[in-house]
């Protein structure tokens, strides 16, 4: 049974809704974008990871500004770039692992996503990417570095006002259920979907607030807005 996942549509719809709300004079603004997930969200972190899944070579990037491959699995921009641009935060979202990332870029957000990863850690065993469950560890390092740049109070304000986007799940089915059917031995398609949804619940708890992020936040009153990409069987 084929996977039906329309990440771009869901994110564009949610972002468009947010912008329409802003145009209606309701005070909803975001200080930054913080991104987690797989290749739909990875703007170049895998360039610095020991994995064969990299997008820093041609033909990728032919429609990107400068016409250079950046690590994005795309001819041009990815969803994080589009979301940040639509919200007038920045034109492109840098990968957190980029050693050349500037302090100024940190203030408006980064992506922690890793192409070929998934909610299921087994997916990253096969791909050697950074699983979604481990990406909050990078978020913790981001907070510490941000504190060093702007101070603890301003870092708290930036993180608490950020839009968080999480998109993953497709690789889990492709790698573990269809290509190498290791999970198909354990689960039916519905059972594996439930297994992955439990992984999402482990990441996103307490009124759609990520417990992993919540525990790492400098402020216990954290109020992040999440856009979650769903996967359907």
Q: What is the 3-state secondary structure (H, E, C) of 163-229?
A: EEEEECCHHHHHHHHHHCCHHHHHCCHHHHHHHHHHHHHHHCECCCECHHHHHHCCCCCCCCEEEEE
pTM of the model: 0.81
Nearest CA to 169 among 1, 7, 61? Answer: 7
- Residue 210 CB-density burial (10 A; 0-12 exposed, 13-18 middle, 19+ buried): buried
Of the pLDDT bands very low, low, confident and very high (cuts 50, 70, 90), residue 28 is: low
Nearest CA to 139 among 162, 117, 121? Answer: 162
- The CA distance from 226 to 142, in Å, is 18
The overall average pLDDT reported for the chain is: 80
Q: Which helix (H) or strand (E) holds 36?
A: strand 33-37
Tokens of 206: 């307490």
34 bridge partner residues: 110, 164
As a whole-number percent, the residues of the chain with pLDDT over 90 amount to 58
Of the pLDDT bands very low, low, confident and very high (cuts 50, 70, 90), residue 183 is: very high
């Amino acid at each position: 049974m084929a996977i039906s996942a329309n990440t771009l549509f869901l994110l564009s719809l949610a972002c468009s809704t947010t912008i329409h709300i802003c145009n209606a004079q309701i005070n909803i603004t975001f200080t930054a974008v913080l991104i987690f997930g797989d290749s739909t969200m990875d703007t170049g972190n895998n360039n610095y990871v020991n994995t064969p899944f990299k997008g820093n070579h041609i033909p990728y990037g032919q429609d990107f500004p400068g016409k250079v491959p950046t690590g994005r699995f795309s001819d041009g921009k990815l969803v994080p770039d589009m979301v940040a641009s639509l919200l007038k935060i920045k034109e492109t979202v840098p990968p957190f692992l980029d050693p050349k990332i500037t302090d100024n870029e940190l203030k408006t957000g980064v992506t922690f996503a890793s192409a070929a990863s998934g909610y299921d850690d087994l997916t990253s065993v096969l791909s050697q990417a950074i699983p979604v469950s481990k990406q909050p560890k990078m978020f913790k390092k981001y907070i510490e570095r941000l504190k060093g740049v702007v101070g603890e109070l301003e870092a708290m304000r930036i993180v608490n006002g950020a839009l968080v986007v999480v998109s993953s799940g497709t690789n889990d089915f492709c790698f573990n259920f269809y290509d190498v059917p290791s999970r198909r031995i354990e689960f039916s398609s519905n059972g594996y979907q439930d297994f992955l949804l439990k992984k999402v619940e482990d990441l996103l708890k307490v009124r759609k607030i990520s417990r992993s992020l919540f525990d790492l936040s400098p402020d216990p009153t954290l109020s992040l807005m999440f856009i979650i990409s769903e996967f359907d069987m």
